[in-house]
């Protein structure tokens, strides 16, 4: 089973990379063909990654969310899933330029932390943990997409403001489209983040973790939640759009990435499993 998994992962990796090359080429050539080819590559890679994760699930006997390897691989899978849905619904494919490399980075990190499946520690043998992780990952994927759209928005905004029109015109999605995408993605992610944090809190209480609220991961997650809540308020009530909300989306994402890339590996808290 492990072999199958590895082969699937590698092919998924190659397909994502191929998809990214297509998207990058599309930016210069603006041919529909490369765009479609890129989408096809990413979709095929995602299917392979799904199969690889399924294989891992069968091998480990539990959902593949324990330890660096599994959680990073699942995260990249979730990002691409969210991207595929959004690209299909909104036809904003240029996002692939950001989302696909992000997925590749997470896959690379996952490979660096490859470990055979670990046995579940008692603390993780719980349905509520699966809900917690599932919710958080969905939220993270949505926020990553939002952050990417926000980043592209800011770059395009600066280019248009400085009148560097040529490189942008007709290549990137319009500012309005990106702005709406940021809004939709954040508003999709926030309920999942809320539920994920709630599920985690419930589990921590039940399991009797002392001072769980002082954990760096929890603190960063709450800060991110506050930023996104502020985003939704500013957008709906105060009528903020464009640059300001884009910065908020990026700030929230930085907090979330800090959890995954800094807090979990370096600031040891109770969230470190499968090491």
Partner 1 sequence: MHLVVTGISHKTAPLELRERLALPCDEAARFGRRLLDAGPAAEAVVLTTCNRTEVYLFADDTLAAGRLAVERLAALAGVDPAELRAAAYQKSGDDAIAHLFRVAASLDSLVVGEAQIVAQLKDAYRAACGEGCTSTVFNKLFRHALEVGKRVRSETAIGERPVSVSSVAVDLARQVLGKLERRVVLVLGAGETSELTVRHLQAHGAGAVVVVNRTLAKAEELAARCHGRAVCLDELDAQLVAADIVISSTGSRDFVVDRARFAEIMRRRRRRPVFVIDIAVPRDFEPAVGRLEGCYLYDIDDLQGVVAANRDQRERQVAQAERIVAEELARMNEWLASLEVVPTIAQLRSAIDGIREAELERMAGPLGTLSPAQRAQVEQLTTSIVNKILHLPTVRMKELAAERDVSVYVDALRRLFDLDEVAPVPARDGDAAAGAAGAALPRTASADCALPTPAADAAPPAPPAPFVSPAQAS
Residues in contact with partner 1 by CB under 8 A are: 29-30, 156, 160-161, 163, 165-166, 168-170, 172, 174-177, 180, 239, 241-243
The least distance separating partner 1 from the CB of residue 165, rounded to whole angstroms, comes to: 5
The least distance separating partner 1 from the CB of residue 251, rounded to whole angstroms, comes to: 18
**The token pair that represents 170 in the structure block:** 């007709």
The least distance separating partner 1 from the CB of residue 31, rounded to whole angstroms, comes to: 8
Q: Toward partner 1, which CB reaches closer, 114 or 240?
A: 240
The least distance separating partner 1 from the CB of residue 161, rounded to whole angstroms, comes to: 7
Q: Toward partner 1, which CB reaches closer, 89 or 163?
A: 163
- How far, in Å, CA of 203 to CA of 215, rounded? 14
- How far, in Å, CA of 150 to CA of 272, rounded? 31
The least distance separating partner 1 from the CB of residue 12, rounded to whole angstroms, comes to: 32
- Whose structure tokens read 């040891």? 268
3-state secondary structure of 65: coil
| 125 φψ region: left (φ > 0), alpha (ψ -120 to 50), beta (else) | beta
Cβ proximity of 23 and 15 under 8 Å: no
**The token pair that represents 91 in the structure block:** 């036809």
How many CB atoms neighbour CB 137 within 10 A? 21
């Amino acid at each position: 089973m492990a072999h199958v998994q590895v082969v699937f992962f590698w092919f998924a990796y190659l397909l994502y990379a191929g998809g990214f090359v297509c998207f990058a080429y599309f930016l210069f050539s603006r041919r529909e063909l490369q765009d479609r080819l890129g989408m096809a590559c990413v979709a095929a890679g995602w299917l392979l990654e799904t199969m690889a994760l399924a294989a891992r699930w069968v091998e480990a006997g539990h959902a593949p969310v324990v330890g660096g390897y599994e959680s990073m691989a699942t995260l990249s899978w979730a990002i691409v899933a969210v991207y595929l849905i959004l690209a299909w619904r909104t036809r904003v494919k240029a996002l692939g330029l950001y989302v696909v490399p992000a997925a590749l980075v997470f896959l690379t990190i996952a490979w660096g932390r490859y470990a055979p499946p670990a046995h579940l520690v008692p603390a993780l043998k719980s349905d509520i943990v699966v809900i917690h992780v599932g919710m958080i990952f969905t939220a993270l994927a949505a926020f990553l997409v939002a952050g990417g759209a926000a980043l592209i928005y800011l770059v395009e905004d600066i280019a248009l403001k400085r009148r560097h029109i040529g490189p942008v015109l007709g290549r990137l999605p319009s500012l309005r489209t990106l702005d709406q995408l940021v809004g939709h993605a954040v508003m999709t992610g926030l309920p999942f983040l809320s539920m994920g944090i709630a599920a985690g809190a419930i589990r921590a209480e039940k399991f009797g973790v002392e001072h769980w609220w002082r954990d760096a991961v929890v603190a960063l997650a709450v800060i991110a939640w506050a930023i996104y809540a502020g985003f939704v308020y500013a957008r709906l009530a105060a009528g903020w759009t464009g640059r300001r909300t884009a910065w908020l989306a990026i700030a929230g994402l930085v907090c979330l990435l800090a959890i995954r890339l800094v807090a979990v590996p370096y600031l040891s808290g109770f969230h470190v499993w499968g090491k």
